[in-house]
Chains A and B, each alone.
Chain A
Amino acid sequence: MDALTSLFAGFETALTPLNLLWALIGVTLGTLVGVLPGIGPALTVALLLPVTAKLPAVSAFIMFAGIYYGGMFGGSTTSILLNTPGESASIITALEGNKMARKGRAAAALATAAIGSFVAGTIGTLLLTFAAPAIAEIAVQIPPTAKFALILLAFVTISATFGGSPLRGLISLAFGLGIGLVGTDLQSGQARFTLGFPELLDGIDFVTVVIGLFAIGETLFVATRLRKDKGNVIKLQGNASMTREDWRRSWKPWLRGTALGFPFGAIPAGGAEIPTFLSYTLEKKLSKHPEEFGQGAIEGVAGPEAANNASAAGVLVPLLTLGLPTSATAAILLAAFQQYGLQPGPLLFLTNGDLVWGLIASLYIGNFMLLLLNLPLAPVWAKLLNIPRPFLYAGILVFSTVGVYSLNNSVFDLVLLAIFGVIGYGMRRFDFPVTPAIIGVILGPTAENFFRTAMQQSGGDYSVFVTQPSSAFILVIVVLALVLPPVLRARGKRAA
């Protein structure tokens, strides 16, 4: 029970009034920037680094932990209310969450996201407390072949999920994959599809694509076909947040989402996207109301949000135990450690135990604070939708502009945003689903890198995909996911 003693000592550090105040500032700030599209926890911590240089290390990290979790909580708010996901991890939340909000159930969607985030964050932190070193050991052993197979699994299950018209879904996916190729090829250093623009050498940031296709595309589309008869605002169904039925439908997705999200966070380059996508498909498969998916199913918010937050906790496992950043925010946190002359890794627990355990303790506290902060705020946030349409859509556009502009401080990105807005309009007009394109942009480059890394490491031996047990196992699941549904359908027809 070594961990337990250290954890109590950590709580002693974290529970001093001053550190509690820093935690509160952190979670508040994190929630606020999470709400803004495009400005995520990574940028916030990076911008705050110089400001915090004069704070004691423990206080600074307690605040950063608050920003980190707070950003995850806040990210879901804009997705649900405004259909403007600012982080790749909250894209899936927008799908069902925004539909719920438009039906007047915004408060319930926000509540299930907040509670799911709390549950996942707390379970994730527990795992971090008691099993971190062991998990980290396993996580680095996962070969690129297995990671490639995992993305393949995500592609296959997703194209089945958004298969209203498989042809249009595939075109959307191919388009996204193509956008993902733009920029300098990591493996060979050659420019691809940059059309001679140096601004495109780093590729197109997914934030630009997501906000363009989702927020700007929708604004253009709605403007051309505005519903005039009905009142100008969405009616909220009272203040009622979650009903008993909502709770019953949410708790299992929370747990399943956590189980999916945490390990992906711990895997290098695992990320929060794949588990949110997988969680969504899984919940749709398991749901008793699959017909509600796409119309505002609460499971589709609860599962992915839990997966998102659990992966945020998972990311801290390799960061603290191995000094291995597995996400953009983790890389910035690593820079923060270095600012204090600290090197995360196996020795950090020995050399700076009080700091690490204070940080871990503050994760529990921060999570709890976030729940207290977000549950009462859910109905307040939901009132945002009472803003008359012209002012609401104008506000969405302005916030999108800030988010995209601040990526590179460049007007070029705003022109790109406008182009993707027009494409987003066209996709709505001609019935192409937007989500596969986004998934292509995010996962395409990762898939290519894993594949080519695997080939480079094996010296060009393609058989590694089936000889490595973990990747072979996942590839079998991929094949089953492809073959089983048609077979089952055929048998079902015969039985009927």
Chain B
Amino acid sequence: MTQPAPPSKSALSLPDVLVALGITLLGVLMIIGTQRINSSGMNTIVGPRVFPMIISVGLTLLGAVLTVLALRGDRAEPAAEEDTDPDAPVNLAAAGIILGGFLVGAFLLLPLGFVFGTAIMYFSVAFAFGERRFGLMLLVSLLVAFVTYELFTRGLGLTLPPGILKGVI
């Protein structure tokens, strides 16, 4: 790994502070949630609240330590993966396209059917990864979705929603 820049300790990193605060907040919310668990009237020697309490207090404390460190200037370095370029500008839109396509596909899974729902997902990922041969993308996404559908419903007897193709496939 040729990564010359050591993590800078001077400037405060706002995202890091927010994440640390978020974890602490999650811990606090879990403590409140623990209080809301019905204590059981049964003869349970260790009740249903004991482990949730240990874990939520633990998470709160760990979050607090992380917050202190972040306020002192600690910052996390994004993971280095084989396919990623640490120096490339971060393209959050790509993640948004994938996520949006996924959710749209998921909600259309029942009305439109499995084939079109997953084809939307496939198409949006390929688009987000920079593919622009639209004809090919359309063909492959429909083909993958169709073959998967046939494989699972006929081969394994799973029930996947047919949607508008009901009766056709």
Task: Report the separation of the CA atoms of residues A126 and B166 in the bound assembly, to the nearest whole angstrom.
Answer: 50
Structural contact, B121 and A397, CB atoms closer than 8 A:
yes
Interface size on A, residues (CB 8 A): 76
B95 to chain A, nearest CB (A): 4
Q: Which residues of A contact B157 (CB under 8 A)?
A: 47-48, 51
Structural contact, B125 and A219, CB atoms closer than 8 A:
yes
Contact of B125 among A102, A187, A221, A397 (CB under 8 A): A397
Structural contact, A167 and B59, CB atoms closer than 8 A:
no
| Identity of the chain A residue whose Cβ is nearest the Cβ of B108 in the assembled complex | A411
Q: Cβ of B103 < 8 Å from any Cβ of A?
A: yes
Q: Digit string of A43-61 for contact with B (CB within 8 Å is 1, else 0)?
A: 0100110010000000000
Known: A190-B38, A411-B109. A430 touches B103 (CB 8 A): no
Residues of chain B touching chain A, judged by Cβ–Cβ distance below 8 Å, are 15-16, 19, 23, 26, 30, 33, 37-40, 42, 44-48, 51-52, 55-56, 58-59, 62-63, 65-66, 69, 76-79, 81-86, 88, 90-92, 94-95, 97-99, 102-103, 105-107, 109-110, 118, 121-123, 125-131, 137, 140-141, 144-145, 148, 152, 156-160
| Identity of the chain A residue whose Cβ is nearest the Cβ of B101 in the assembled complex | A397
Chain A, range 396-432, C-beta contacts under 8 Å to B: 397-399, 401-402, 405-406, 409, 411, 414-415, 418, 421-422, 425-426, 428-432
Task: Report the separation of the CA atoms of residues A218 and B122 in the bound assembly, to the nearest whole angstrom.
Answer: 16
Task: Report the separation of the CA atoms of residues A389 and B81 in the bound assembly, to the nearest whole angstrom.
Answer: 14
Structural contact, B90 and A390, CB atoms closer than 8 A:
no
Task: Report the separation of the CA atoms of residues A432 and B99 in the bound assembly, to the nearest whole angstrom.
Answer: 21
Q: Which residues of B contact A171 (CB under 8 A)?
A: 23, 59, 62-63, 66
Task: Report the separation of the CA atoms of residues A171 and B69 in the bound assembly, to the nearest whole angstrom.
Answer: 14
Beyond the given A178-B55, A390-B127, A393-B126, could you list 9 further A-B residue pairs with CB under 8 A, ordered by the A residue number? A167-B66, A168-B76, A171-B63, A187-B46, A190-B39, A225-B84, A389-B83, A391-B140, A411-B109
Task: Report the separation of the CA atoms of residues A455 and B103 in the bound assembly, to the nearest whole angstrom.
Answer: 44
Task: Report the separation of the CA atoms of residues A48 and B157 in the bound assembly, to the nearest whole angstrom.
Answer: 8
Known: A225-B88, A397-B125, A418-B106. A193 touches B33 (CB 8 A): yes
Q: Cβ of A267 < 8 Å from any Cβ of B?
A: no
Contact of A192 among B37, B45, B79, B92 (CB under 8 A): B37
Q: Which residues of A contact B145 (CB under 8 A)?
A: 398
Structural contact, A430 and B33, CB atoms closer than 8 A:
no
Q: Which residues of B contact A223 (CB under 8 A)?
A: 91, 94-95, 97-98, 125, 128-129
A398 to chain B, nearest CB (A): 5
Q: Cβ of A456 < 8 Å from any Cβ of B?
A: yes
B36 to chain A, nearest CB (A): 9
Q: Which residues of B contact A220 (CB under 8 A)?
A: 95, 98-99
| Identity of the chain B residue whose Cβ is nearest the Cβ of A432 in the assembled complex | B76
Contact of A226 among B55, B92, B126, B129 (CB under 8 A): B129
Structural contact, A174 and B58, CB atoms closer than 8 A:
yes
B39 to chain A, nearest CB (A): 8
Q: Cβ of A460 < 8 Å from any Cβ of B?
A: yes
